[in-house]
Structure 1
Amino acid sequence: MQALRVLTGSWKMQTQKGEIWERWQQEKHQLKGVSFSVKAKDTTQLEDVILGIHNGKLSYAPRTSGDAESKRVYFTLVKQSATRFEFENLQHDFPQRIVYQFFGTDSLHAWIEGPINGSLQQQHYYYKRMQ
C-alpha cells in the first residue's frame, strides 16, 4: 500500500472532448479516488474508487457514478513493481484488468483491458500530475 501513495494528488488528461481528472487522497489505511470529466463548464463524476484491503488482499474497487444500483467491483493486485501496479478480476465482463504505470513523479499511463466480442480491447489514459 505504501508504494501506491505515489498516486495521491490530482491527475489530468486532456482529450478532444475535454478533460478527465483523477483525484486521490489518503484516508486512514486506504486511498480514495474520484474520476470526473470536465467539458466546458460541465463537470460529471465518472466513478469513485477505494484502494485498500478487501478480504485480506490489496484491491482496487471502483463504483460507477450516477447509477443508484451500482456496486463496487473488486480487482485484486496481481503484479507489482516500483512503477507498475496490475489489478485483475477475471470474473468481471469488462474490464478484467486495470493497470497503473508511473513515469517519474508527474506522468501516469493507466489502462483497462478485457475481452469484448471475443477480442482483447484496451482503453488508455495518459495523465499528468497537477498537484
Structure 2
Amino acid sequence: MKTIISLLTILTLFSFTQKEETSKLSFLQGTWKMETKENYESWEVVNDQELKGSSYTIRGEKKMTTENLAIKTLGDKTIYTATVLDQNEGKPIDFVLNTTVKNKFSFENLSHDFPKKIQYTKLDDKTLFVQVLGDNDQGFSYKMVKIGNK
C-alpha cells in the first residue's frame, strides 16, 4: 500500500511539474512581431495545460497565416506542435520540451529534418529571442517584440 501511495504521489508531482511548465509559457499570450519583418506570432492561453497560436505575415492589408501552433501538456510531456500549411502535406510536427535546458524553453524533435529545435528565451516582458535550429545547432534566430496590451 505504501508503494502505491508513493507512486501516486510521484506521478501527481510530475504531472504538476508539467502543468507548471505550460503555465510558465503563459507570458506568450498576445501578439509578437519580428523586429525586422512583418512576421507575427499570436498566442492565447486556452487553460493551464494549453496555448494556441498562429504565425502569420501581413502583406499590404492582407493577413496570411503560415502556420498553426499549439503548446499542450499531454501526460508527462509538454508538446509544441507546428502545422506549416505548405509543408509536410499540412501534417503537424511535434517538438517535446527539453526540461533539462535552463533559461529557455527548448522544444525538440531530433528526428525531424528541419528544424530540430525551436527555442524561446524571454528577455523581458516585451522581448523574445527565438532560435530555429537544425543539425549541429545551425539555423537562424530573431527577436520578437510584444505589441498591443496583452
- Shorter-chain TM range is 0.7 to 0.9
Which runs of at least 4 in structure 1 moved beyond 4 Å after TM superposition? none
Normalised by the length of structure 1, the TM-score is 0.85
Q: Report what 1:12 is aligned to.
A: 33
Q: How many residues align?
A: 125
- 1:122 and 2:136 matched: no
Change (3 A) 1:69 1:8: same
Q: Report what 2:70 is aligned to.
A: 50
Q: Per-residue CA shift, 1:21-52, capped at 9, x if unaligned?
A: 10000113300010101122232111011100
Unaligned stretches of 5+ residues in structure 1: none
Q: 1:14 offset after TM fit, Å?
A: 3.9
- 1:109 and 2:115 matched: no
Cα-Cα RMSD: 2.0
Q: Per-residue CA shift, 1:72-93, capped at 9, x if unaligned?
A: 1110000354x51001101100
- 1:89 and 2:106 matched: no
1:92 aligned counterpart, secondary structure: coil
% identical equivalent positions: 29
- 1:76 and 2:96 matched: yes
Larger Cα Rg: Structure 1 or Structure 2? 2
